[in-house]
Amino acid sequence: MGFLVSTMKTQLFVLLLFVVSFATVNGQYTQEEMQRILSKSSPGELLRENSQLLLVANYYQSIQVIDRLLEMEPDNANYNYRKGYALLFSQSQYEQALPYLEKAVKNVKKLYDASSEKETAAPVDVYYYLGKCYHQNETLDKATEFYQKYLESSTSKNALYPWAELGITQVENAQKELKNPKNYELKNLGAVINTEAPEFSPVVSLDGSALFFTARRLWKNGLNKDMKDLNTNHYWEDIYVSYKNLNNTWSDPALLEFCQSGQNEATVSVSMDERKIYVYNDVSGNGDIYFSEFKGNQFQQIQAADIKKLNSKFWEPHLTVTPDGQTMLFVSDRAGGYGGRDIYRMVKLPDGNWSEPVNLGPEVNSEFDEDAPFLAMDNKTLYFASNGTKSMGGFDIFMSVQDENGNWSPAINMGVPLNSTGDDIFYTTTMDGTTGYLTSFRNGGFGEKDIYEVKNNETGKQGISVLKGEIVVAGNRPLPQDLSVTVSCLNCGNKTSVTLYPRVRDGVYFSRLEKCREYELVYAYGENETEFYKEKITTKCDTEFEEIHSRALLRLDDMTIIPFMKYHLKGNISDFADQTPVGKATVEFLSVDGELLEKHSTSSEGLFTSALLDSSFFGDPIHFMVKVSKDGYLTQQFEVNETLGEKAVIDLAYLIDKPDVGKELSKVLKLNPIYFDLDKSTIRQDAKVELDKIVQIMNDNPSVRIELGSHTDCRGSANYNLALSERRAKASADYIRKKISDPSRISGKGYGESKLVNNCPCEDEVVSECSEEEHQANRRTEFRIIE
């Protein structure tokens, strides 16, 4: 979307001020053509090529050309200026541009001749661009110094003059804001989401479970490897989605189906039900709003939004629709605004059409650029980005609140650390307003633009009521896409109602509710919207944030809602040898990370109960460990990993054994056979899983000593089999030794074929008639307690 350089869309590189006297090229070269130009062109020809490439915004190849000239004259201020300029405009690489511009300002000339190959000075514009680099690097005194130098060396007629004045104002804002940081917690989303390439324009789902965003990266299948934007040498913009895992981390992002390798598609906004995604696309005009609908379990090809007065011959880079679908905010640089890009509003009319666009006015829009509006769940708190006189530098996130008369409050800069002296834009939040996501280009990131998470402790939770409904289909069957829920207010003056469609991926839906009101939820399906279930809910009359949960379990066979069951967890502990109950055993419930969740003691009948599942629901995954210990018994751990279904009682039954000398643990621990590759003693991945069970029991029972015995079948010579089994026993024991505190507690011994468990001899001339399964029984690993 190019928002970083678009903030200076009216700026013109000084090269545009003269008429190019040589043939116009198409603006890009193949790699072979570029190598020929670099190797065979004279300095004058290279300079003309650089000028032409800059004119068509081919910054990447212009840098290749200027690098060749810098090899010849590294101190040439003209060349250094051009390199710094291209770096700044190609990828906003202010840190890389800085040393070149610092060298260029050592030789500045007002009557700079961009067309002359003899020109060795830099134009006065270099003062502005150097100030911009210092500004973004938070070297604020130097930023002011060079902004001022530009103003002193230039006139108000120059295109950069108002931007230099703005820069000085923004530096003053930054100095004030940096001294008074706000109560935000800012976190880079890390390497799963962010890369060295740009990631931007995040749109978070209302419950924070999904993140849609734009990235310029190589596809996993590599099909876009030859498709790059020569302006930046980045891949074209594509849209990805990542979902939050159970451990609160983001999943590997998935590319959306409609993305094409040779054009820009950027996230703009996503409908509340995630069935429509609005996309910025620049295949026509200056760039317009498109959309894609989710049908047949995938997003369809994008098409231009058919909303009257939305797209125009001007630039429309952004749009957002409120969760209730009744208000649309969009951005345009069309004529009649306050200057640059402005934010406009349209509302849904009774006939289903959209109203005429209305500019949000001077409290929001300025003579500079505003972009990326997002209206919070309360339908009155507006977050947007502005690069105006209240910003700290580039775009900052601002907030304005609409009153009951439709007027917007003066926009407030949301401050540090949410904002920085670089571009901060595309802020969206979850439904309670406390968690937001934004794009920022600041020090310490992974690449040019990164996505950050913001914990907003400054403004607090919004004082609204929100319904979060969920429809779970019994048997984990897919949710019907034609199922709807109509939410109607029963005691509101205008009897409002809204029809919602659950998210296909998880059956979740949302609705903003009025305080102190009663609502009816009506479930329906099919083209005729056949009603099959109703439910009533009531909101509180306070001013606090309220989240109402409604969960419905749907049985598809007869389209009926069945009650959610209450889950109970109980169990019993018995002796492994004689199955008798084990009383007064300690039962500990642990997370998979080892955190203690609950602790119980069994009754004299070996029974225990737990409240661990009291707040769990149908379809919830449960994953924890059960640790059982008692004097005179081996302490053992058992894994519980399943998804809650139609069985209300989860009954755990465990057998624990005594640590008698000579006890063979493979059966006690239900170990799978430990396999080795032919004639190998290297521990395989499947064997590690079984050996880790021995590690666990040795760590839980620090006084137990174990002998690991490795056996072979009869095939092969006795000496060979003995040597092979000894190597395997040693490798297995060594694996365990590395994971226990006292390595001497485990020993390994190879027995070869000396202890067959069945009558399968094949020594000398004896030919065994045993099956492969019988031979496998002899190729075993045993773990015997020796102390």
pLDDT in tens, 476-506: 789 998 999 999 999 987 778 899 999 999 9
Least confident of 435-444, 489-498, 590-599: 489-498
Output the six-digit token pair for 172: 């003053």
Intrachain domains 465-561 and 568-656 with the same fold:
yes
Per-residue pLDDT, 27: 62
Per-residue pLDDT, 25: 46
Give the Cα separation of 725 and 709 in Å (integer). 8
Strand, coil or helix: 667: helix
HEC string of 550-613 equals: EEEEEECCCCEEECCCCCEEEEEEEECCCCCECCCCEEEEECCCCCEEEEEECCCCCEEEECCC
Per-residue pLDDT, 678: 66
Strand, coil or helix: 189: coil
Per-residue pLDDT, 143: 97
Give the Cα separation of 381 and 455 in Å (integer). 17
Residue 174 has pLDDT above 80, yes or no: yes
Give the Cα separation of 62 and 66 in Å (integer). 6
Per-residue pLDDT, 3: 43
Alpha helices in 262-307 (DSSP H): none
Residue 446 has pLDDT above 70, yes or no: yes
At 644-655, the pLDDT tens digits run 877 889 999 999
Strand, coil or helix: 205: coil
Place 773 in a pLDDT band, splitting at 50, 70 and 90. Answer: confident
* Residue 125 CB coordination number (10 Å): 24
Q: Which residue has the tokens 């004097």?
A: 631
Residue 38 has pLDDT above 70, yes or no: yes
Per-residue pLDDT, 10: 36
Q: Structurally, what CATH architecture does the domain formed by 568-656 represent?
A: Sandwich (2.60)
Residue 765 has pLDDT above 80, yes or no: no
- For domain 465-561, give the fold: Immunoglobulin-like (2.60.40)
The CATH number corresponding to 184-456 among 3.20.20.140, 3.30.450.20, 2.60.40.10, 2.120.10.30 equals 2.120.10.30
At 622-640, the pLDDT tens digits run 999 999 989 989 888 888 9
Output the six-digit token pair for 406: 């439709």
Residue type, 9: K
For the chain, give the percent of residues with pLDDT over 90: 59
Output the six-digit token pair for 310: 């939305």
Place 753 in a pLDDT band, splitting at 50, 70 and 90. Answer: confident
CA dihedral 154, 160, 161, 165 (to 10 degrees): -130
Which segments of 56-209 are extended strands (E)? 184-188, 199-204
Average pLDDT, integer, range 293-320: 92
Rounded to two decimals, what is the model's pTM?
Answer: 0.74
Q: Are 204 and 432 in contact (CB under 8 A)?
A: no
Average pLDDT, integer, range 500-513: 93
Residue 26 has pLDDT above 60, yes or no: no
Q: Are 201 and 318 in contact (CB under 8 A)?
A: no
Please name the residues in contact with 44: beta carbons below 8 A apart, sequence gap of 6 or more: 117
Residue 668 has pLDDT above 60, yes or no: yes
Residue 518 has pLDDT above 70, yes or no: yes
Strand partners, 451: 439
Least confident of 120-134, 180-194, 254-268, 663-677: 663-677
For the chain, give the percent of residues with pLDDT over 70: 96
Output the six-digit token pair for 340: 């640059």
Instruction: Classify residue 193 as exposed, middle or buried by CB count within 10 Å of its CB (0-12, 13-18, 19+).
Output: buried
What residue spans define the domains of the chain?
A: 3-179, 184-456, 465-561, 568-656, 665-785
At 461-470, the pLDDT tens digits run 888 999 999 9
At 404-437, the pLDDT tens digits run 899 999 999 999 999 999 999 999 999 999 999 9
Give the Cα separation of 21 and 578 in Å (integer). 100
At 332-367, the pLDDT tens digits run 999 999 999 999 999 999 888 999 999 999 999 999
At 226-269, the pLDDT tens digits run 888 877 888 999 999 999 998 889 999 999 999 998 888 999 99
Place 285 in a pLDDT band, splitting at 50, 70 and 90. Answer: low
**Residue 62 or residue 443, greater confidence:** 62
* Residue 550 CB coordination number (10 Å): 17
The CATH number corresponding to 3-179 among 1.25.40.10, 1.20.140.10, 3.30.70.1450, 2.40.50.100 equals 1.25.40.10
What is the average pLDDT score of the chain? 89
Place 758 in a pLDDT band, splitting at 50, 70 and 90. Answer: confident
Q: Are 675 and 686 in contact (CB under 8 A)?
A: yes
Q: How many CA atoms lie within 13 A of 543 on its CB side?
A: 1
Give the Cα separation of 293 and 300 in Å (integer). 6
- The residue length of the chain stands at 787
Output the six-digit token pair for 29: 């070269």
Residue 619 has pLDDT above 80, yes or no: no
Give the closest residue to 586 by CA, choosing from 601, 608, 570: 601
CA dihedral 102, 107, 113, 114 (to 10 degrees): -20
Average pLDDT, integer, range 545-565: 88
Give the Cα separation of 517 and 681 in Å (integer). 71
Give the Cα separation of 622 and 644 in Å (integer). 7
665-785 homologous superfamily? OmpA-like domain (3.30.1330.60)
Give me the phi and psi of 623, to 5 degrees please. Answer: -150, 110
Residue 19 has pLDDT above 60, yes or no: no
Per-residue pLDDT, 548: 95
At 370-406, the pLDDT tens digits run 999 999 999 999 999 999 999 999 999 999 999 989 9
